[in-house]
Amino acid sequence: MSIFKNASTKTAVLGLITAALFSFQVATVKASASPEDKIKTAIIFKITKFISWPKKTQNLTICVLGEGSINNELHKINRKNTMGRRLSVTHRNANAPFDKLCDALFMHNIDNITVKSVLKRLEGKPVLTISDIRSFVDYGGMIGLKRSGKKINFSINNTSATDADLSISSKLLKLAKTVK
């Protein structure tokens, strides 16, 4: 004997149970970001506290170029405050006028040709460039994140930053694995 009075009630209850289970699975998937993505996001957030831009505004815009699991983590720092400025995290495509829209640009999961092209367009512009792409600082990027064993280290191309009228705190320079 069924506890449901009719088939439509049974179908509705089963639909609700299925929807609840599905939403639980989706929430579990969203919550399980990789520890590496969380660490990189924390580093990016902390780095903003050690950079001086030539023009200080109320907001600090971090643009993201590239797709990947870190994007969800980066959005978690959206609207947080850093050194009296409110962070704004936004995605852009490779043709965006980064120098007009961004204070910092995080690039990941894009090809080297695009990386080099974007860096060339930003040469001398006060946009902090950060990436987890191999050889990023060698291409002229300012801060390169890289995994070393279980740690995430970073390298700094201080020449590129200085040429862009950005000042990197000596405290951050001391923490870097390598400085150019």
* pLDDT tens readout for residues 47-92: 999 999 998 788 999 999 999 989 999 999 999 989 889 999 999 9
Domain boundaries, the chain: 1-32, 35-179
Which of the listed CATH numbers 3.40.50.170, 3.40.50.300, 3.40.50.2300, 3.20.20.220 matches domain 35-179? 3.40.50.2300
145-168 residue pLDDT tens:
998 888 999 999 999 999 999 999
Quickly tell me which residue has 């929430």 as its tokens: 27
What is the reported pTM?
0.80
* Secondary structure (DSSP) of 39-74: HHHHHHHHHGGGEE-SS--SEEEEEEES-STHHHHH
DSSP-derived letter for residue 138 is G
Closest CA to 52 of 174, 180, 172, 178: 172
Please give the mean pLDDT across all residues of the chain: 84
Side by side, the strands of the sheet bearing 81-82 are: 81-82, 85-91, 59-65, 104-107, 128-131, 143-148, 151-156, 178-179
What is d(CA 81, CA 79) in angstroms, rounded to the nearest whole number? Answer: 7
